[in-house]
Amino acid sequence: MKLRQAFTDFILASNTDGSGKAASYVRALDMLGPILTEYDTDFCGGKERRYGITCAKKA
């Protein structure tokens, strides 16, 4: 079983009936993959900030 399917099965099984929480989590992860592939691999130090993400400065 693939990791995505295992997570989906787990989160749906632990979801309260009628709640959209589990579906929202799965959808968020589906959306996160393409965002991370478009973004510079150095998430906080990249040159491009396509999604308006700002990171705290390193100490």
pLDDT string in tens for the chain (59-residue length): 698 899 899 999 998 888 889 999 999 988 888 877 776 555 555 555 555 656 666 54
Q: How many Å apart are CA 28 and CA 35, to the nearest integer?
A: 11
pLDDT of residue 38: 72
What pLDDT, on the 0 to 100 scale, is given for residue 44? Answer: 59
Q: What is the pLDDT of residue 59?
A: 47
pLDDT for the residue numbered 36: 74
**Cβ(45)–Cβ(20) under 8 Å?**
no
Name the amino acid, one letter, at 38: E
CA distance 38 to 40: 7
- Dihedral sign for Cα atoms in the order 8, 14, 18, 20: negative
